[in-house]
């Protein structure tokens, strides 16, 4: 039952991953871009699982048995959102079209 929080959030992670994958691309999709997108989604999933595992193993003697699962769910969602959002910003920066400088006509 360690990963109950992650299992419950998997549908939402799939929706966010699909939205990330289908956002309007700043450049044509090619092999490197698809590889980057796949790696970003996998890193976000692994990061969320790692954070959830850390939260489940937290020691709260004054709290009930459900609270580590609640904390794991909240932190897994936050970690996934931060990692996928950071990957989106990095993707836009890496594959954005270079802006041309204005030409000064004197």
Residue 106 lies in a domain: no
Residue 17 lies in a domain: yes
Mean pLDDT across the stretch 45-63?
85
Residue 74 lies in a domain: yes
Residue 103 lies in a domain: no
Note the pLDDT tens digit of each residue in 59-100: 777 777 788 888 888 999 999 999 999 999 998 888 776 666
Residue 100 lies in a domain: no
Note the pLDDT tens digit of each residue in 5-36: 778 888 989 999 888 888 776 566 778 888 99
Three-class HEC string of the chain: CCCHHHHHHHHHHHHHHHHHHHCCCCCCCCHHHHHHHHHHHHHHHHHHHHHHHHHHCCCCCCCCCCHHHHHHHHHHHHHHHHHHHHHHHHHHHHCCCCCCCCCCCC
Does position 58 have pLDDT exceeding 70, yes or no? Answer: yes
Residue 104 lies in a domain: no
* pTM to 2 decimal places: 0.79
What is the pLDDT confidence band of residue 101, given thresholds at 50, 70 and 90?
A: low
Residue 99 lies in a domain: no
Residue 101 lies in a domain: no
Question: Which residue range(s) make up the domain with 24?
Answer: 4-37+47-94
Query: What is the pLDDT at residue 62?
Result: 78
Domain total of the chain: 1
Query: What is the pLDDT at residue 55?
Result: 85
Does position 106 have pLDDT exceeding 80, yes or no? Answer: no
């Amino acid at each position: 039952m360690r990963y109950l929080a992650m299992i419950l959030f998997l549908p939402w992670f799939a929706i966010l991953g699909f939205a990330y994958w289908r956002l309007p691309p700043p450049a044509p999709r090619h092999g490197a871009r698809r590889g980057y997108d796949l790696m970003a989604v996998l890193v976000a999933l692994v990061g969320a699982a790692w954070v959830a595992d850390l939260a489940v193993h937290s020691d709260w003697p004054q709290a009930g048995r459900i609270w580590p699962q609640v904390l794991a769910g909240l932190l897994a969602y936050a970690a996934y959102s931060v990692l996928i959002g950071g990957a989106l910003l990095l993707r836009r920066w890496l594959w954005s079209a270079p802006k041309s400088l204005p030409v000064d006509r004197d």
